[in-house]
Structure 1
Amino acid sequence: MTTFLLIIIYLAFISLGLPDSLLGAAWPVMQSDFGAPIETAGYLFMTIAGGTILSSLVSGKVLKRFGTGKVTFVSVLMTACALLGFYFAPSIIWLFLCAIPLGMGAGAVDSGLNDYVATHYKAHHMSWLHCFWGVGATLGPVIMAQYISNQNWGKGYLTISGLQFILVVILLFTLPLWNKVNSHITINKEPEEPKGISFKENAEKVRPLQMNGVKLALASFFFYCAVEATVGLWGSSFLVNVKGLTAATAAEWVSFYYAGITIGRLMTGFVTFKMSNQVLIRMGQIIALTGAILLVLPLPSFFSVAGFIVVGLGLAPIFPCMLHETPARFGEKHSQAIMGYQMAVAYTGSTFMPPLFGFIASHTTVALFPICTVIFVIAMVLSSEKLNRVLKKKLLINNKNKSSTAI
């Protein structure tokens, strides 16, 4: 029963990934059809992510009131309806209206499922969970590429909407399963002491944002999503306008980026048995930086697809490992609230940074895309490493205080 529920959660994350890569893949054709300026894609992306931020911030209260199962069902239903709206949209204004429920459908379910898996399952399940997000994100451009080659991007959205409605039906009939599993599940572990604050402090009324290292963790999530979203949204435009590829070929190449994330997370799930989350995060950041530098270098177009794949492989372990570290870093008592904050800040990075680059590109050139990617990766590395130092220092102080008390 618990395994079957995990399969349902994996399917939900496929549905979460499917829409995320569609706009970037289809935009070179959508822009022409609607006669819109290039930066409009950034504003649409901002609207989607804005809805996600709002739903992430209220996710804690919503999940406690209605439960993860019902929230997941309603969220996927909203996403399916919004994608159907993209298919019927007669103008850019309608795209913006549909973008709101598309974003809101993602936020609460994302926070809820991440916290559920981080609390109840081991690290490899978190990596595989986000691997299934990558499956959806990879399939999105592949499906869309089949339609935009015939200048019919709308049917791409219609197809993805149909897949979402199938999952809605599955979630509807499996709603009773959530209560059954929650009533039987037991966590066979003692409460872990968080790395950034003493267990005694954790028991007191400490606000999550005031806890040691939380703001640095939020910064890491911000810049991670800035990288992931910017590459996904503007990768096709960079390949079309700078490398001279066709829109269909560019969409397929960007799908390799998401494939890199997917395959990387599949492998990470096995590697977590041997390596800690902290080591995997650091390794992923180094690989992502290598891929971003590969995009910067003035090499033939073929090396661009290699750069996208390497960036994807590098990003693969970072997000799920950071999420899974949340209860260990800050304690299970605050993990759900902090998870909501992390998702909200992560989507803030998705909201503002890709449109910011779109604004810069519209006034300069989209050729700055690789340089922007490198800057975001470096910022992520710096905030993550500083967080590690803060938590390590606090842990040493806590251990020293425990020793003094024992004596």
Structure 2
Amino acid sequence: MATFFLMIIYLAFISLGLPDSVLGAAWPVMQGDLGEPMDRAGLLFMTIAAGTIISSLASGKILNRFGTGPVTLVSCLMTAGGLLGFSIAPSLIWLMICAIPLGLGAGAIDTGLNNYVAIHYKAHHMSWLHCFWGVGATLGPIIMAQSISAENSWRNGYLIIALIQLALAAILFFTLPLWKRAAGKSEPVKEETSEAEQPSGKPVKAYKIKGVHLALFSFLFYCGAEAAMGLWGSSFLVDTKGLPAATAAQWVSLYYGGITVGRLITGFITLKVSNRMLILAGQGIALAGAALLILPLPAGFALAGFVLTGLGLAPIFPCMMHETPVHFGKKHSQAIVGYQMAFAFTGNTFLPPLLGFASYHTTMGIFPLFIIAAIAAMLFSSERLNQLMKEKRKVKEGNHPAF
């Protein structure tokens, strides 16, 4: 039963990844059919991202009140409705309206399942959870490409993905009783801090807990680096390394492959290595991969740089997420995961355009420098957080001497 329930959670994350990468694959055809300029995709992207950020911030209270299972079901129905709307939308205005439930649903699922797995399951399950997101993010463009090539219809591609979401919603509906049952059988998380450790006798707001701001910035810079690699990687390879556009796109797909495969492998490594060591190792590998892009080496080294950066980034997000209830306690973890997801989507939304703006006024050669700066900022924030947690443990041990 436990294995069956985990498969439901993994399926939910595949469904979360499915629509994330579809817009980019479909837009070249969509904008021609709708008579819109190419840059209008940015409006849709920002609308989806805004909904995701809002629902992530509000998810703490919603999930605490209704529970992860029911919220995941409703959110899945919202994303399915948004995708169905995309398949029949006659204009950009209607696409933007349908993008609202798509973003709101995605943020609630992401936050709810991340916190649920962080609290109730071990670290390897978190890594595999995000590996399944990569599976969905890979399958989405494949489904859309098949629909466009076979029927010349981007609408059918969205329809197929919407039907997959509805099928998952049906599975979630019939398995709702499993959520509480599975939670009761899971292993408790060892916490480093708790409500009782706060200096005031009054309840402490989650965002006021010491160290939370460092965790938030770690997620912001991580997602900024990950998204910037995917968005501007091809442009860098074409403009700076002189590669054909098709080859550049394939190399960037290998970057995503590095993330997906890396998370699969990380799941096994977490059985022997701590989250903190994996985060630090991943940051070092990602920095080495980005550094390869700076050096004046043959183009093949750039491919190695992209794959190495993807492998390095792979363990960071799931391991940082799994540490949340350990660092800040189970009572506050749901709210803090919501804040983390909001900062993650903020980094994902705003840092890549910042790189685009800077490169427009300078050169695309600043791409690897930007990636290195973002990873270095993430490294500083996460290591400062680890140092703070170490100091808290020392204080706690000092207050509870052994006799």
- Normalised-by-shorter TM-score class: 0.7 to 0.9
| Shift in Å, 1:330 | 0.6
| One-letter amino acid of the structure 2 residue matched with residue 52 of structure 1 | T
Q: Percent identity?
A: 59
Summarize the Cα distance change of 1:95–1:185 in structure 2 as closer, same or farther, 3 Å threshold: closer
Summarize the Cα distance change of 1:35–1:240 in structure 2 as closer, same or farther, 3 Å threshold: farther
SS in 1 for 2:190: coil
Structure 2 partner of 1:267: 265
8 A contact 2:223–2:347 mirrored in 1: yes
When structure 1 is superposed on structure 2, of 165-174 and 209-218 the one drifting more is 165-174
8 A contact 2:123–2:319 mirrored in 1: yes
Q: 2:294 aligns with which of 280, 296, 309?
A: 296
Structure 1 partner of 2:336: 338
Structure 2 partner of 1:215: 213
Structure 2 partner of 1:125: 125
Structure 2 partner of 1:171: 169
When structure 1 is superposed on structure 2, of 199-208 and 56-65 the one drifting more is 199-208
8 A contact 1:258–1:312 mirrored in 2: yes
Summarize the Cα distance change of 1:385–1:250 in structure 2 as closer, same or farther, 3 Å threshold: same
| Shift in Å, 1:234 | 2.5
| One-letter amino acid of the structure 2 residue matched with residue 17 of structure 1 | G
Distance 1:36 1:241 in 2: 23
Summarize the Cα distance change of 1:181–1:146 in structure 2 as closer, same or farther, 3 Å threshold: closer
Distance 1:255 1:131 in 2: 15
Distance 1:306 1:89 in 2: 41
Summarize the Cα distance change of 1:74–1:30 in structure 2 as closer, same or farther, 3 Å threshold: same
Give the alignment of 1:3-42 within 5 angstroms. Answer: 3-24=3-24, 36=37, 42=42
Distance 1:336 1:393 in 2: 24
Distance 1:363 1:158 in 2: 40
Match status 1:232 vs 2:233: no
| Shift in Å, 1:3 | 1.9
8 A contact 2:192–2:389 mirrored in 1: no
Give the alignment of 1:60-71 within 5 angstroms. Answer: 60-71=60-71
Q: 2:284 aligns with which of 272, 283, 286?
A: 286
SS in 2 for 1:19: coil
Structure 2 partner of 1:401: 399
Q: 1:192 aligns with which of 190, 193, 198?
A: 190
Distance 1:81 1:225 in 2: 27
Structure 2 partner of 1:310: 308
Structure 2 partner of 1:74: 74
SS in 1 for 2:125: helix
8 A contact 2:77–2:169 mirrored in 1: no
Distance 2:103 2:286 in 1: 26
8 A contact 1:277–1:321 mirrored in 2: yes
8 A contact 1:28–1:237 mirrored in 2: no
Match status 1:201 vs 2:180: no
Summarize the Cα distance change of 1:64–1:387 in structure 2 as closer, same or farther, 3 Å threshold: closer
8 A contact 1:56–1:343 mirrored in 2: yes
| One-letter amino acid of the structure 1 residue matched with residue 391 of structure 2 | K
Q: 1:321 aligns with which of 306, 319, 322?
A: 319
Structure 2 partner of 1:137: 137
| One-letter amino acid of the structure 2 residue matched with residue 390 of structure 1 | L
**Runs (5+) with no aligned partner, structure 2:** none
When structure 1 is superposed on structure 2, of 104-113 and 75-84 the one drifting more is 75-84
8 A contact 1:242–1:367 mirrored in 2: yes
| Shift in Å, 1:58 | 1.2
Distance 1:378 1:51 in 2: 29
| Shift in Å, 1:376 | 0.9
8 A contact 1:41–1:355 mirrored in 2: no
After superposition, the C-alpha distances for 1:16-48 in whole angstroms (9 at most, x for unaligned) are 12232334556677778867466x555543332
Distance 2:399 2:197 in 1: 12
Structure 2 partner of 1:256: 254
**Runs (5+) with no aligned partner, structure 1:** none
When structure 1 is superposed on structure 2, of 122-131 and 302-311 the one drifting more is 302-311
After superposition, the C-alpha distances for 1:177-196 in whole angstroms (9 at most, x for unaligned) are 2223413642565663325x
| One-letter amino acid of the structure 1 residue matched with residue 22 of structure 2 | L
SS in 1 for 2:175: helix
8 A contact 1:78–1:105 mirrored in 2: yes
| Shift in Å, 1:2 | 2.7
Aligned-CA RMSD value: 3.1
Summarize the Cα distance change of 1:98–1:365 in structure 2 as closer, same or farther, 3 Å threshold: farther
When structure 1 is superposed on structure 2, of 5-14 and 355-364 the one drifting more is 355-364
8 A contact 1:141–1:251 mirrored in 2: no
Summarize the Cα distance change of 1:108–1:230 in structure 2 as closer, same or farther, 3 Å threshold: same
Distance 1:181 1:91 in 2: 40
| Shift in Å, 1:120 | 1.0
8 A contact 2:87–2:158 mirrored in 1: no
When structure 1 is superposed on structure 2, of 294-303 and 278-287 the one drifting more is 294-303
| One-letter amino acid of the structure 2 residue matched with residue 222 of structure 1 | L
Structure 2 partner of 1:277: 275
SS in 2 for 1:186: helix
Give the alignment of 1:96-111 within 5 angstroms. Answer: 96-111=96-111
Summarize the Cα distance change of 1:397–1:212 in structure 2 as closer, same or farther, 3 Å threshold: same
Aligned residues: 401
Q: 1:387 aligns with which of 385, 388, 393?
A: 385
